[in-house]
Amino acid sequence: MQISLNDLVFDVDVAGPDDGEPVLLLHGFPHNRQSWSDITPALHRAGLRTVAPDQRGYSPGARPEETAAYALPELAGDALGLLDALGIGSAHVVGHDWGAVVGWWLAARTPERVRTLTASAFPHLDAYQHALRVDPEQGDNSGYIEVLSAADAADSFLADGAAGLEGWYRQGGEGVLSEEQIQRYLRTHTAPGALRAALQWYRAGTLRDDNGPLGPVAVPTTHIWSEPDPSVSAFAAEHTADHVTGEYRFVRLPGVSHWQPQQVPQTVAAEILRRTGH
């Protein structure tokens, strides 16, 4: 379905039992709402209702030109607006990568709207930014942000038949993403204007700029971190616990790439169900 919020139109998949507890699924870069296609069947069987949007920049009808339009409060506002449009007062929130960043913001700033949080791959933003200041490994790991923030990043990724973008999908090694998944995401992000809009999330500076602390999270929370993840250091992942005052579970995944929902969907689904009490 499509949901209009002001002058933006979002593509959203809503599925599962009509009376099921709602689960808001927020994808990361460079994917889309289909990131959850291997996870939602297990959630539906457990009686949960899922809401999976293509977020700002990913929905063709929600691609504002200004970089400032991709600041974190704007992205979180979209999530809240979608819940409002569907008549959902509060939901279990699940996010991967950038979707996890939005999820952390929602849990910290609007806890009354978040029943539980499952954050896949990306740690609490305060833990991440502290690691950037004090942990050399995280500083090295975050070098990719400069690449993705560059003005010509989209052109570079799409040159030579999108060879750079395809290489990004294959970087986790053979078998991390299936060939069908790679081609699906390539079709999405080689559409006119799609990749440039998705990269606006990086240009907005949320990951590197310290705009003051996000604040503690009091809702029941699970953070899933992959030990080989090249973007998040152990220091940042482990110190996320310092920023969660509610019930907390930390899940370490050895031998799993950053792209957990695609590589180990059964594991991610099981952790969501554990966190939501299903």
Written as six digits, the tokens of 203 are 């240009």
* Rounded-to-integer distance, Cα 190 and Cα 157, Å: 9
Cis-peptide into 192, omega within 30 deg: no
pLDDT in tens, the chain (278 residues): 999 999 999 999 999 999 999 999 999 999 999 999 999 999 999 999 999 999 999 999 999 999 999 999 999 999 999 999 999 999 999 999 999 999 999 999 999 999 999 999 999 999 999 999 999 999 898 888 888 999 899 999 999 999 999 988 887 666 678 888 889 899 999 999 999 999 999 999 888 766 779 999 999 999 999 999 989 999 999 999 999 999 999 999 999 999 999 999 999 999 999 999 99
By three-state DSSP, how is residue 31 classified?
coil
What's the confidence (pLDDT) of residue 78? 98
Could you tell me how far CA 90 lies from the centroid of its own chain? 19
Question: What is the residue range of 121's domain?
Answer: 2-276
What's the confidence (pLDDT) of residue 170? 85
Would you say the C-alpha torsion 38, 123, 216, 247 has a positive or negative sign? positive
* Rounded-to-integer distance, Cα 33 and Cα 210, Å: 29
Pairing of strands 22-26, 49-53: parallel
What's the confidence (pLDDT) of residue 175? 63
Domain count, the chain: 1
What's the confidence (pLDDT) of residue 178? 86
What's the confidence (pLDDT) of residue 210? 65
What's the confidence (pLDDT) of residue 219? 98
What's the confidence (pLDDT) of residue 172? 65
The answer to whether residues 23 and 92 touch, using CB atoms and an 8 Å cutoff, is yes
Residue carrying structure tokens 């999530």: 79
- Tell me, what CATH number does 154's domain have? 3.40.50.1820
Cis-peptide into 30, omega within 30 deg: yes
What's the confidence (pLDDT) of residue 146? 87
For residue 250, list its beta bridge partners. Answer: 223
**Those residues with Cβ within 8 angstroms of residue 275's Cβ, 6 or more apart along the chain or in another chain:** 92, 116, 117, 118, 220, 221, 222, 249
Q: Cα-flanking dihedrals φ and ψ of residue 131, to 5°?
A: -60, -40
* Rounded-to-integer distance, Cα 256 and Cα 229, Å: 8
